[in-house]
């Protein structure tokens, strides 16, 4: 099962390396990883997605909590949450395909962020499932390049991840 772990940690050199090393040492895979400073510049929030049973995720959480740089770990899947991912995709867009691509962009509430004679660069924001569905919907187009940011997420309501 897919899990989204939100990790509040010290914004220090080597902190990210220690978290990633923990996954590597134990043979766990990180599907997506997103990290940036918070409103408190001494702290960073790392959001990662991984797959595993509840027991595996419990073990990962216990190991993460033992790391000196880690302040708090929350599995966002355990409660109501909001998740978003950014995707930029460059597609070959000849005259015949442009109308169809624009129609798909409108349906998925995306944006065309760059236009070239033979290519469109598109931006979409949403859940991973939404981005996957968009890629499936434009499978007729030649994808030249694709990049995804990885999942960012927050618990809904007043629940916060603070020290």
Q: What is the pLDDT of residue 163?
A: 63
Residue 159 forms part of a structural domain: no
- Taking the chain, what is the end-to-end CA distance rounded to the nearest angstrom? 28
Query: How does pLDDT run across 67-86, given as a tens digit for each residue?
Result: 999 999 999 998 899 999 99
Q: What is the pTM of this model?
A: 0.85
> Which residue positions in the chain have pLDDT lower than 50?
none
64 by Cβ neighbours in 10 Å (0-12 / 13-18 / 19+) ranks as buried
- Residue 19, domain CATH: 3.30.70.260
Query: To the nearest whole number, what is the mean pLDDT of the chain?
Result: 92
> Do 98 and 57 have their domain in common?
no
Q: What is the tally of structural domains in the chain?
A: 2
Asked which of 63, 78, 93 is the last residue of a domain, the reply is 78
Parallel, antiparallel or unpaired: strands 143-148 and 81-92: antiparallel
- Per the structure, the complete domain to which residue 15 belongs is given by 2-78
Residue 66 forms part of a structural domain: yes
Asked which of 35, 60, 78 is the last residue of a domain, the reply is 78
User: Angle of helix 15-26 relative to helix 54-66, nearest 10 degrees?
Assistant: 140
Strands (E), 2-142: 2-10, 32-37, 43-51, 70-75, 81-92, 111-115, 119-126
Query: How does pLDDT run across 83-107, given as a tens digit for each residue?
Result: 999 999 999 988 888 899 999 999 9
> Do 95 and 41 have their domain in common?
no
Q: What is the pLDDT of residue 96?
A: 81
Asked which of 53, 78, 103 is the last residue of a domain, the reply is 78
């Amino acid at each position: 099962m897919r899990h989204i772990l939100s990790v509040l940690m010290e914004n220090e050199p080597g902190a990210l390396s220690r978290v990633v090393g923990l996954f590597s040492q134990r043979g766990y895979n990180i599907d997506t990883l997103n990290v940036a400073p918070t409103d408190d510049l001494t702290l960073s929030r790392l959001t990662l997605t991984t797959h595993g049973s509840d027991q595996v995720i419990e073990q990962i959480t216990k190991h993460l909590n033992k790391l000196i740089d880690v302040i708090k770990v929350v599995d966002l899947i355990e409660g109501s949450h909001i998740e978003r991912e950014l995707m930029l995709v460059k597609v070959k867009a000849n005259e015949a395909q442009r109308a169809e691509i624009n129609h798909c962009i409108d349906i998925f509430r995306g944006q065309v962020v760059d236009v070239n004679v033979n290519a469109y660069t598109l931006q979409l924001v949403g859940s991973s499932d939404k981005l996957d569905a968009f890629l499936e919907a434009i499978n007729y187009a030649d994808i030249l390049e694709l990049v995804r940011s990885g999942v960012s997420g927050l618990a809904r309501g007043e629940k916060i991840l603070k020290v």
